Amino acid sequence: MYNFTKRLLDIVASIAALIILLPFFIPIIIILKFTAEGEVFYFQERIGINNSRFQIWKFATMLKNSMDMGSGSITLQNDFRVTKIGVFLRKTKINELPQIINILKGDISLVGPRPLVDKTFSAYNEKVQSKIYNVKPGLTGIGSIIFRDEESIISAVTDEDPHGFYKRVTAPYKGELEMWYQDHRSLYLDFQLIFMTAWVILFPETRLYEKWFKDLPKRKF
């Protein structure tokens, strides 16, 4: 019943969001088309439910072939690969909104663990790799909320390679958070996480989630 209700809510919410956001998407599409390298959407293979593969939709915010430049799969603060309009889209999370199409298609849900590329997925230990996508990945979730400003967190580490820090600190903690979500998941928790997502966008420095979810795994950074 939980999965059926969640899927129904995903469909209703994604259709409503597309109708509401379409007038806002049009100027963004025009700006992207005539700036930077002219790319509007960015498609990338991600890992989905039961470790299957799908193509994620995003607004283009980085240079073409950015995965082969700089820090690769990890984006840093003030990353040279991010375009000028891309900085704004990423800061406001508008770049993520085309994933509404992925929600409508059933690739992802509104709430769940973020779908990762192979390289960052491989940073999880084997236990997490085998369980994290037993549930459908999501547009947002507890990991997305706590790591809302992941670029700044990783960039602040100056004495370690960003990939090493991700594997040693970020990935293990994200894995604990997503296992926490699976242990507690419910429609009520999903609504709380949707609200909290909007809250952290408006108030980036907030840690309200620590008051709401008192049994969260201990913060590792």
- Rounded distance, CA 78 to CA 68, Å? 17
Per-residue confidence (pLDDT) for residue 189, from 0 to 100: 97
Residue 197: per-residue pLDDT? 95
Given the structure tokens 């700044």, which residue do they identify?
152
Mapped onto helix, strand or coil, the DSSP state of residue 65 is: coil
Does the pTM exceed 0.85? yes
- Residue 47 inside a domain? The answer is yes
Query: What is the separation, in whole angstroms, between the first and last Cα of the chain?
Result: 37
User: Residue 3 is which amino acid?
Assistant: N
Is the residue at 217 inside a domain? no
Residue 52: predicted pLDDT: 97
Give residue 210's pLDDT.
Answer: 92
Asked, for residue 219, whether it belongs to a domain, the answer is no
- For residue 77, give the nearest of 95, 58, 90 by alpha carbon: 90
Residue at 221 is within a domain: no
Return the closest-CA partner of residue 102 out of 195, 5, 18, 187.
18
Task: Name the residue range of residue 44's domain.
Answer: 2-212
Specify if 74 maps to a domain.
Answer: yes
Distance, CA of 142 to CA of 113 (rounded, Å): 8
Domain count, the chain: 1
Contacts of 146 (CB under 8 A, 6+ apart): 177, 209, 219
User: Is 123 within the bounds of a domain?
Assistant: yes
- The pLDDT, as a whole number, for residue 56 is 97
Does residue 72 fall inside a structural domain? yes
Quick check: is 46 in a domain? yes
What pLDDT is attached to residue 74? 83
One digit per residue, the tens of pLDDT, for the chain of length 221 reads 889 999 999 999 999 999 999 999 999 999 999 987 889 999 999 999 999 999 999 999 998 888 778 787 788 878 889 999 999 999 888 999 999 999 999 999 999 999 999 999 999 999 999 999 999 999 999 999 999 888 888 888 877 888 888 999 899 999 999 999 999 999 999 999 999 999 998 898 899 999 999 999 988 77
